[in-house]
């Protein structure tokens, strides 16, 4: 420590007081936040989220990686949300390794999750050939040329994605400053609907393998007289974590809400969906400066979306529904912020565990159906998306038997956060909240990887899109094993 040289004598007491004050200013929590652009640099690019090849030629709004780094003097960790439908683990591991080399933050102290916007490019080039093989395109004058251009642009996009995720962490670490943190929990059920519905017998279409045992349907016809009731709950909780400077200036806000995505984006344009719009609107509500970063993480919304299947929605302009939902969530988050008591003395801890899960394999009957479907020249007699699921079934049959998935738990004071690399059902999130020794606790889904849907065993028994082989990749008991592991990890942190 150095002091300015002045033409006067400093007493020992004055020196000690000055040193104590300087050291005290550095004690307690530090925080830094940053945003890195993820908008494609070349066009066209394919967009995830559908079974059809949808090239985008422009951006309606930016895609971003939004990072928050926290440091209590003993533990430094990073939380990053990426505007993508789901980034594969190998890419996230590479981004973490780069960021770790630059910042010194251990890779196991980085939580990097996807928001789950359906209007962003795929986060692995190999996904394109599996989901939309070139041979599946309808012949057109420029269809193949457009496809080739999109594949090449996506290859560059994936490289850019990795660099920019790392850059967001690096800049957030450079932005560290003395800070204080607090949190609040409120509820906002207005926009949440369980999308899996029981329907009258005989009204549910066959699954992609020709099966007719599904008892529930995802996204059934709105206001259909065949609807009976939803097959599961929603989680109305909205958790808000507020970070501000010691001067009271907002630095970051991390929110968590269990809504799949909103949609209704303009055709042919990438978009961060309501996650990006929330980030813009919460900045406005708080009157925050340019260095502020708003972050909305996806909770347990694997079976929850924004469609009220009981009644038709009024006609909306493109992006209008996104603005409406984001505005409502931002309003509620802003109100919750008013009750937050910020602290600078919280302690941080984080743990990561690998869990081995069995991968599902197709039955002989499913394999036979898949081969026949791919060989068929007439798709009119096949179930919807039969060929897409046939490709997935063959890939699963020749693939590995198990997979190791990363699970994480974070403690910030009395607050708990868990991270799961799946699209998690609401009832799993509610169970973790109910049983966690840390209060409050919330789940960030699609974190540190993207391994498909995670239905509970009870939901598996009901069938439906989220349980189909190729949509759900792991064993039926996976949700129970993951929940048990995470609760053990939270107990360790609580002790």
**Which of these, 383, 376, 425, 395, lies nearest to 210 by C-alpha position?**
383
The reported pTM is 0.93
- How far apart CA 437 and CA 459 sit, in angstroms, is 26
Task: Find residue 452's DSSP bridge partners.
Answer: 472
Q: What is the pLDDT of residue 143?
A: 81
Strand partners, 444: 419
* Residue ranges of domains in the chain: 32-197+225-360+401-494
188's tokens: 């906002």
Q: Which residue has the higher pLDDT, 134 or 201?
A: 201
pLDDT one-digit tens code per residue, 162-188: 999 999 999 999 999 999 999 999 999
Which two tokens mark 119?
């209007």
Say what the pLDDT of residue 141 is: 62
Q: What is the bridge-based pairing of β-strands 402-412 and 415-419?
A: antiparallel
pLDDT at 202 over 50: yes
**Dist CA 156 CA 38 (whole Å):** 12
What number is the average pLDDT over the span 31-58? 94
Judge whether residue 12 has pLDDT over 60.
no
Residue-level pLDDT at 10: 34
Tokens in use for 175? 């932005």
Per-residue confidence at 26, pLDDT binned at 50, 70, 90?
low
In the structure, what pLDDT confidence band is assigned to residue 132 with cuts at 50, 70 and 90? confident
Stretch 415-440: mean pLDDT: 98
Residue 23 scores a pLDDT above 80: no
- Which of 181, 191, 144 lies closest to 32 in space, CA to CA? 181
For 436-468, what is each residue's pLDDT tens digit?
999 999 999 999 999 999 999 999 999 999 999
Residue 360 and residue 389: Cα distance in Å, rounded?
Answer: 14
Mean pLDDT of the chain: 93
Can you give the pLDDT at residue 8? 32
Segment 127-155 shows an average pLDDT of 83
Q: What is the pLDDT of residues 211-246, one digit of tens each?
A: 999 999 999 999 999 999 999 999 999 999 999 999
| Distance in angstroms (rounded) separating the CA atoms of residues 53 and 50 | 8
pLDDT at position 168 is 98
Asked if residue 9 has pLDDT above 60, the reply is: no
> Is residue 1 scored above 70 in pLDDT?
no
Angstrom distances, CA of residue 25 to CA of 227, 243, 344, 415 = 61, 17, 11, 25
Find residue 64's DSSP bridge partners.
Answer: 37
Name the CA radius of gyration of the chain, rounded.
24
Q: pLDDT (tens digit, 9 = 90+) per residue, 331-389?
A: 999 999 999 999 999 999 999 999 999 999 999 999 999 999 999 988 889 999 999 99
What pLDDT, on a 0 to 100 scale, did the predictor assign at position 127?
78
Handedness of CA 289, 446, 273, 84 (dihedral sign): positive
Q: Residue 157 pLDDT more than 60?
A: yes
Q: Is the pLDDT of residue 20 over 80?
A: no
How far apart CA 197 and CA 351 sit, in angstroms, is 37
Quick one: pLDDT at residue 22? 39
Closest CA to 408 of 458, 363, 444, 378: 444
User: Which two three-digit tokens encode residue 126?
Assistant: 């190999």
The DSSP letter of residue 359 is B
Q: Is the pLDDT of residue 145 over 60?
A: yes
């Amino acid at each position: 420590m150095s002091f300015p040289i002045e033409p006067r004598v400093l007493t020992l007491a004055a020196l000690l007081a000055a040193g104590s004050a300087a050291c005290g200013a550095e004690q307690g929590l530090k925080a830094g936040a940053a945003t890195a652009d993820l908008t494609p640099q070349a066009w066209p690019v394919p967009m995830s989220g559908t079974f059809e090849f949808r090239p985008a030629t422009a951006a309606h709004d930016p895609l971003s990686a939004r990072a928050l780094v926290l440091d209590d003097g003993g533990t430094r960790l990073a939380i990053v949300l990426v505007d993508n439908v789901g980034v594969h683990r190998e890419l996230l591991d590479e981004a973490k390794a780069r960021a770790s080399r630059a910042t010194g933050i251990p890779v196991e102290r980085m939580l990097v999750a996807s928001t789950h916007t359906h209007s962003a490019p795929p986060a692995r080039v190999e996904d394109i050939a599996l989901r939309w093989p070139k041979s599946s395109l309808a012949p057109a004058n420029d269809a193949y040329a457009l496809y080739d251009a999109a594949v090449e642009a996506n290859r560059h996009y994936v490289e850019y994605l990795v660099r920019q995720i790392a850059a967001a962490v690096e800049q957030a670490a450079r932005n560290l400053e003395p800070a204080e943190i607090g949190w609040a929990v409120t509820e906002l059920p207005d926009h949440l609907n369980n999308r899996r519905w029981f329907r009258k017998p005989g009204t549910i279409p066959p699954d992609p393998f020709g099966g007719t045992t599904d008892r529930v349907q995802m996204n059934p016809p709105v206001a259909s007289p065949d609807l009976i009731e939803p097959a599961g709950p929603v989680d109305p909780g909205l958790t808000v974590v507020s970070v501000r400077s010691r001067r009271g200036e907002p630095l970051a806000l991390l929110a968590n809400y269990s809504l799949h995505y909103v949609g209704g984006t303009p055709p042919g344009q990438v978009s961060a969906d309501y996650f990006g719009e929330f980030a813009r609107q919460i900045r406005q509500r708080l009157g925050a400066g340019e260095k502020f970063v708003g972050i909305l993480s996806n909770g347990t919304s694997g079976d929850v979306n924004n469609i009220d299947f009981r009644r038709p929605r009024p006609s909306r302009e493109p992006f209008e529904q996104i603005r409406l939902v984001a505005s409502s969530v931002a309003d509620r988050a802003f109100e919750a912020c008013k009750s937050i008591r910020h602290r600078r003395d919280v302690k941080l801890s984080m743990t990561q565990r690998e869990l081995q899960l069995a991968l599902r394999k197709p039955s002989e009957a499913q394999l036979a159906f898949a081969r026949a479907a791919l060989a068929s020249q007439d798709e009119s007699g096949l179930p919807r998306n039969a060929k897409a699921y046939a490709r997935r079934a063959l890939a699963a049959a020749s693939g590995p038997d198990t997979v190791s998935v990363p699970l994480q738990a974070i403690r910030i004071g009395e607050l708990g956060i868990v991270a799961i690399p799946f699209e998690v059902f609401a009832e799993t999130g509610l169970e973790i909240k109910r049983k966690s020794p840390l209060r409050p606790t919330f789940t960030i889904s699609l974190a540190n990887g993207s391994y498909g849907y995670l239905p509970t065993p009870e939901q598996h028994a009901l069938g439906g899109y989220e349980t189909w082989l190729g949509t759900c990749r792991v064993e039926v008991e996976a949700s129970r094993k993951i929940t048990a592991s995470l609760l053990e990890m939270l107990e360790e942190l609580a002790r």
